[in-house]
Structure 1
Amino acid sequence: MSTHSTSTGRPGTGHGSVGLAGLVVGAIGVVFGDIGTSPLYTLKEAFSSHYDLVANHDTVLGILSLVFWALMLVVTLKYVTIIMRADNEGEGGIMALMALAQRTLPKGSRSAYGVGILGVFGAALFFGDGVITPAISVLSALEGLEVVAPELDRWVVPMTVLVLLALFATQRFGTEKVGKVFGPITGLWFVVLAVLGVANILHEPEVLYAINPWWAVNFFATHSWHGVFILGAVVLAVTGGEAIYTDMGHFGARPIRYAWYWFVLPALMLNYLGQGALVLEDPTAIRNPFYIGVPEWARMPMVVLATAATVIASQAVITGAFSVTRQAMQLGYIPRMSIKHTSRDTIGQIYIPGVNWAMAVVVILLVVSFGSSSNLATAYGISVSGTMLIDTLLLALVARALWPNWRWWVLPLCLVFLVGDIAFVIANGAKILQGGWFPLAVGIVLFTLLRTWRRGRELLREEMQKGGIQLDSFLPGLMLAPPVRVPGTAVFLASDPNLVPHALMHNLKHNKVLHERNVFLTVETLAVPYAPKEKRLQIAGIGDDFYRVLVRFGFMETPDVPLALMRSCDAGGIHFDPMDTTYFASRETVVAIARRGMPVWRDRLFALMHRNAAPATGFFRIPGNRLVELGAQVEI
């Protein structure tokens, strides 16, 4: 079906009966899990052998200062304060931002094409680092057993695998139900983080000086040019910033902002400062400052709470992956998949089984292969840094074109963000050989799949249109000697409303009949999340009981064609009786041949993807007992 973009939209549907307080609690439980568990491993990784740093007074304050200002600039200012203003009718994430940026450029221009490439590559990178988050988070939590009881070390990996399997198995119950359970647990987690932080800060209150940016500057001055590589560890403190923006459609911007400003950010910084105070007091504590900072009697309960919190951290990435997948699907970048809605109140809450279990397999393989959070930390960061860099570039485009009252201060800040993002990319690039190659490889593979599907769909559409017959000239000729008309309504799915659908040609050739009424139906996906009611349906009569019908859906909607047609009479259109309507569709078999277009290996890859994609009829919720599919072989 057609996936031409349009720039018309309406505000999102809101959150029904769910109150603000409930959304704040749900956001705490789902959105902030990733960034909220970073204290488990960030400071420990900064002083690992990879960076060869000594835990002395100035270095500890320098690292803490870098963490503080990274949280303030990257997460608080860039994502929570600014980028969340760039919502595409209530939806966030890099695909929504890409669609918003493309609306500012001429359709079909090279600039729009370049923005599309950036957005797709950023989405692919998001998945690349996304599969690492559950593995490193849960592993780092259960590694607390090594502090509590070293003899349990060999059980860390098996227990991590079991926990992750349970997490992915619960996704079918939905974000809302999971959030209600996880919200209070995560709330307790952040309270405990803050309490532990304050308790340790009281031993070394001098650590509070780390808030002064002079200590970050001093760190770079002391360690010369290679000091920038420490940002490969500092980035661990801000991973999850992109997930905050991606999950905006699940809970809304206001609940997320409230939770971050007044609850999550203070708790995180208190804990980081508390860990720093502990290391200032006892430099040997750097081997695991999080757990060593916990009183001995509370360490085992803390392992349990940390495990629950890291499960929630994984939830933030999983829900973000569902959102990005649906956006990419509706925008025509990936094959159609089964989508299940899990909430009656919030339309943004969905479950995609294929994505869920694919992530589960990759995450568990990562846990088994790398075996520890320290090993995984070397693979973490490169993809999320690339995604943050792309977000900054897209934000600048949106601010310049759509925010005339704000761009005078947003664009200069984009330059600041750009410098920081490039520094993070360089720092994490140094870890490619140590494990950073994995998320980068995943991102490149996914980018290839996304672009192959998009380009393959374009080539398939071109081939289907070659030699096509213009509908306006075909129908008058057909009606000069009309075939037998049979009762009922025939709906022919057409990717191009101006050409005779292949299904109609096959029906005339084999069945030699026409229905009493014939409808040529085209479905369009808009570049906004939800189609406006007044532009949802367009009906035009073309004589002799033939009609052109255009149905539009937003990229965050699940298309339901029969429902849209049933409602057509409400707007003065023709009446569709579900029991008297038959749908005709052409199902193409793609054959790859060596020719211009894509290389033959990509043609074959597209053919494989096309063969395994969910059929358009199922995606559009067309009932199987009212459907006639006619095959066609297409060479690309």
Structure 2
Amino acid sequence: MQTHSHVDTTSLRIRTLGAIGVVYGDIGTSPLYALREALAQTSAEGISRAEILGVLSLALWALIIVVSVKYVAFLTRMDNNGEGGVLSLMALARRATGGTWVIVTLLGASGAALFYGDAIITPALSVLSAVEGLRTIPGVGGMTQPVILGITLAILLGLFAFQARGTAGVAALFGPVCLLWFAVLAASGLWQIAQHPAILAAFNPLQAVDFLLSHGAVGLFVLGAVFLTVTGAEALIADMGHFGRQPIQLGWLVLVWPALTLNYLGQGALALGALDAASAQGHTLANADWFFLMVPDAWRAPLVLIATLATIIASQAVITGAYSLTHQAIALGLLPRMDLRQTSAQQIGQIYMPGVNWLLLFGVVVLVFGFRDSSSMAAAYGIAVTGTMVVTTCLAYVIAWRHWRWQPIWAAVLIAPFLALDLFFFGANILRVTEGGWVPLVVAGLMGLVMVAWLRGRRATQERTSALGVDMRDIARALATRPPVRIEGTAVFLTQNLDIAPAALLHNLKHNKALHRTSILLRIETRPRPWVEPADRLVLERIDDNFVRAHLRYGYMDKVDVPSDLARSEGLLAGPGGTSFFVGRSAIRFATKPYLPRWVTVLYTFLHRNAADPTAYFAIPPNRVVELGSQIEL
């Protein structure tokens, strides 16, 4: 008979393997291009020994401070009932501040908007950089730029087309493939370190300091490229709800961090050896694709294959993350409802969003053919990630102060060094705006406009509805005094304000001149927590014998199923006649005196008109839905 501790250990190993396959795919593929791009900023007149050691030292200490200390040791402890990520932190900060701090919503929306910039760059950059490794294989001719781009496009098209089928069937392969990948990273690095052990001097942080002090503005450009070594760190907290804190921490400390460190040291050792050979011939050292050159020629083709598989997995993790983030953003009211499909009956987190999928693919294809090589694209990568990290750190301060109840000054003492480092990296990446850094800023700006228009439009619509509405108690008293024709069954009226008579109820009374035996005013709310227990979701309040107020509350990670949750209350939906759901369809019109800036109204009208059917989002059977239209002037 297995002991409880043995079962726990086995479960921990399985979850850790799963975390290695999903959480670390992005940061695990950074060695393909990070050190190469950092050294490229120094190589105008040839790369020197001090530059190799200095750049490598910056990379090693970025991994230590940003990932190991900030994320693994600190931010993984800052979860919202087990869930992490920028929107989970926003929800937790909202709860801690009573939902009254506008800055918290702005920070969360900014972080989400920046993530979409990252989501289109990661698949394009990682897959393209792996395919470019084909050029390093001896005897493989014809690897021209169009061929490289064609192979990359074919892989990306296949990846995005596969999303509709779900990844549950192949997800079991992610862990073992990534385990092999990190083993290859470590082994190839060790091979080179053994030949040039002098590279271990890069662990001395003074090498990094001397480099920055001696290179001026060039040092800042290098720092922006060095940041590529820590892209993907946000996934450590974003996927915490799927695997738990301990497997993520264990996977980083035991495997991922050592493998990355060894590989970067190995690339530096190879560069040192190439420098010695070039100096002996009286030449300067030119930059090269150090990652693929680390292994012997005979092993180059298998390395390219494994690298391509690893980048596909990294891309898959980002795509899935975009679905999850969009789902959370919709639940928290930052984006309109979108078509969402469950791709696995066993795992609730396995979802597919067609709109998000094809928009991402469009952005990825534009990037691939716009930049055409990974070196050009790398400049666009850092700004989105550093911006998200700045947002995360700011939200962490609010949570430490208001949720953990730390004194503001002591919270600032802890958070300030992290924020200063994030701002330093962000400033270094801003210098590369003209080289491509504008791309994620444009994507984030467009997403930001969508969120602002949706937030302001929804708020204005609710205010106008409340201002023009009729008090529900007055309607209830009037109908009790002069009852209309009664019909069997239950009518559920979806509304955002339980104190105001829903427009659908008024239209039903006006046109059908009848009232159901039981009428339920239902408000569906998403709370700033990931989960709400089924037993705690429904709150009922009877107005009179005809009307009931129902408040149905979900977490932003819960699966919404309105009929099932209403049925939990015994007798609420019982009786003859069945249940009908009345949904108001509002048409937005321009008011004579605009309630909002015209551009906000135009964009909100477009989003409102194209939002997914609420009945499908709430899992209401279509044959039970009655839609009644109304007009709202903004």
Provide TM-score, normalisation by structure 1: 0.93
Match of 2:620, SS state, is coil
Residue 577 of structure 1: how far off its partner (Å): 6.0
Match of 2:381, SS state, is coil
- Contact 1:28 / 1:187 at 8 angstroms: preserved in 2? yes
What is the match of residue 10 of structure 1? none
- Contact 2:489 / 2:576 at 8 angstroms: preserved in 1? no
2-side partners of 1:346 and 1:106: how far apart? 32
2-side partners of 1:51 and 1:245: how far apart? 36
Residue 601 of structure 1: how far off its partner (Å): 1.6
2-side partners of 1:161 and 1:364: how far apart? 7
2:269 is the counterpart of 1:277 = yes
What is the match of residue 632 of structure 1? 630
2:134 is the counterpart of 1:151 = no
Residue 136 to residue 577, structure 1, CA distance change in 2 (3 Å): farther
Following superposition of structure 1 onto structure 2, how do residues 162-173 of structure 1 map, counting pairs within 5 Å? 162-173=154-165
What is the match of residue 6 of structure 1? none
What is the match of residue 119 of structure 1? 108
Match of 2:80, SS state, is coil
1-side partners of 2:390 and 2:453: how far apart? 24
Structure 2 unaligned residues grouped into runs of 5+: 1-7, 276-284
Following superposition of structure 1 onto structure 2, how do residues 214-233 of structure 1 map, counting pairs within 5 Å? 214-224=206-216, 226-233=218-225
Following superposition of structure 1 onto structure 2, how do residues 115-514 of structure 1 map, counting pairs within 5 Å? 115-148=104-137, 149-153=140-144, 154-224=146-216, 226-283=218-275, 284=285, 286-404=287-405, 411-514=412-515
What is the match of residue 600 of structure 1? 598
CA displacement, residues 298-319 of structure 1 (integer Å, 9 cap, x when unaligned) = 1111111111111111122112
2:553 is the counterpart of 1:552 = yes
1-side partners of 2:333 and 2:489: how far apart? 33
2-side partners of 1:345 and 1:23: how far apart? 16
Q: Residue 442 of structure 1 aligns to which amino acid in structure 2?
A: V
Residue 131 of structure 1: how far off its partner (Å): 0.6
2-side partners of 1:96 and 1:564: how far apart? 24
Q: Residue 114 of structure 2 aligns to which amino acid in structure 1?
A: L
Match of 1:356, SS state, is helix
Residue 273 of structure 1: how far off its partner (Å): 0.2
Residue 245 of structure 1: how far off its partner (Å): 1.8
1-side partners of 2:411 and 2:496: how far apart? 41
Question: Which structure would you say has the larger RCO, counting Cα contacts within 8 Å and 6 or more residues apart?
Answer: 1
- Contact 1:522 / 1:550 at 8 angstroms: preserved in 2? yes
Q: Residue 14 of structure 2 aligns to which amino acid in structure 1?
A: G
Residue 432 of structure 1: how far off its partner (Å): 0.6
1-side partners of 2:440 and 2:209: how far apart? 30
Match of 1:486, SS state, is strand
Residue 528 to residue 567, structure 1, CA distance change in 2 (3 Å): same
- Contact 2:29 / 2:314 at 8 angstroms: preserved in 1? yes
Residue 404 of structure 1: how far off its partner (Å): 4.4
User: How many residue pairs are counted as aligned between the two chains?
Assistant: 615
- Contact 1:250 / 1:346 at 8 angstroms: preserved in 2? no
- Contact 2:22 / 2:313 at 8 angstroms: preserved in 1? yes
- Contact 1:285 / 1:292 at 8 angstroms: preserved in 2? no
Residue 33 to residue 623, structure 1, CA distance change in 2 (3 Å): same
2:48 is the counterpart of 1:56 = yes
Which segment is superposed worse, 410-419 or 426-435? 410-419
- Contact 2:42 / 2:51 at 8 angstroms: preserved in 1? no
Match of 2:40, SS state, is coil
CA displacement, residues 187-214 of structure 1 (integer Å, 9 cap, x when unaligned) = 1111000000000001111111211211
Residue 510 to residue 579, structure 1, CA distance change in 2 (3 Å): closer
Match of 1:479, SS state, is helix
Residue 408 of structure 1: how far off its partner (Å): 8.5
Match of 1:509, SS state, is helix
CA displacement, residues 253-272 of structure 1 (integer Å, 9 cap, x when unaligned) = 22211111111111011000
2:569 is the counterpart of 1:568 = yes
Match of 1:466, SS state, is helix
Q: Residue 475 of structure 1 aligns to which amino acid in structure 2?
A: A
Match of 1:482, SS state, is coil
- Contact 1:35 / 1:239 at 8 angstroms: preserved in 2? yes
Q: Residue 143 of structure 2 aligns to which amino acid in structure 1?
A: L
Match of 2:210, SS state, is helix
1-side partners of 2:498 and 2:29: how far apart? 52
Residue 77 to residue 173, structure 1, CA distance change in 2 (3 Å): farther
- Contact 1:60 / 1:276 at 8 angstroms: preserved in 2? yes
CA displacement, residues 602-636 of structure 1 (integer Å, 9 cap, x when unaligned) = 21111011000012222111111111100111111
2:7 is the counterpart of 1:29 = no
- Contact 2:39 / 2:222 at 8 angstroms: preserved in 1? no
What is the match of residue 541 of structure 2? 540
Q: Residue 605 of structure 1 aligns to which amino acid in structure 2?
A: L
Residue 374 to residue 226, structure 1, CA distance change in 2 (3 Å): closer
What is the match of residue 47 of structure 1? 39
- Contact 1:278 / 1:285 at 8 angstroms: preserved in 2? no
Provide TM-score, normalisation by structure 2: 0.93
2-side partners of 1:514 and 1:534: how far apart? 30
Residue 594 to residue 221, structure 1, CA distance change in 2 (3 Å): farther
- Contact 1:565 / 1:576 at 8 angstroms: preserved in 2? no
2-side partners of 1:332 and 1:242: how far apart? 22
Matched residues, percent identical? 46
2-side partners of 1:260 and 1:409: how far apart? 28
Residue 575 of structure 1: how far off its partner (Å): 4.0
Residue 346 of structure 1: how far off its partner (Å): 4.2
Following superposition of structure 1 onto structure 2, how do residues 583-598 of structure 1 map, counting pairs within 5 Å? 583-593=581-591, 595-598=593-596
Residue 26 of structure 1: how far off its partner (Å): 1.8
Which segment is superposed worse, 171-180 or 189-198? 171-180
CA displacement, residues 549-606 of structure 1 (integer Å, 9 cap, x when unaligned) = 111111112311101011111xxx6344697011111111112346444321221111
Match of 2:84, SS state, is coil
CA displacement, residues 314-363 of structure 1 (integer Å, 9 cap, x when unaligned) = 12211221221111100111111122334455433322222122111211
Residue 492 of structure 1: how far off its partner (Å): 1.1
CA displacement, residues 212-232 of structure 1 (integer Å, 9 cap, x when unaligned) = 211111111221354222111
2-side partners of 1:430 and 1:378: how far apart? 10
- Contact 2:28 / 2:182 at 8 angstroms: preserved in 1? yes
Residue 562 to residue 453, structure 1, CA distance change in 2 (3 Å): same
- Contact 2:41 / 2:222 at 8 angstroms: preserved in 1? no
CA RMSD of aligned residues (A): 2.1
Which segment is superposed worse, 402-411 or 441-450? 402-411
1-side partners of 2:566 and 2:574: how far apart? 6
Residue 543 to residue 270, structure 1, CA distance change in 2 (3 Å): same
What is the match of residue 9 of structure 1? none
Which segment is superposed worse, 553-562 or 604-613? 553-562
Which segment is superposed worse, 79-88 or 195-204? 79-88
- Contact 2:43 / 2:286 at 8 angstroms: preserved in 1? no
1:88 to 80, 83, 88: 80
What is the match of residue 65 of structure 1? 57
Residue 279 to residue 323, structure 1, CA distance change in 2 (3 Å): same
Residue 361 to residue 182, structure 1, CA distance change in 2 (3 Å): same
2-side partners of 1:177 and 1:336: how far apart? 27
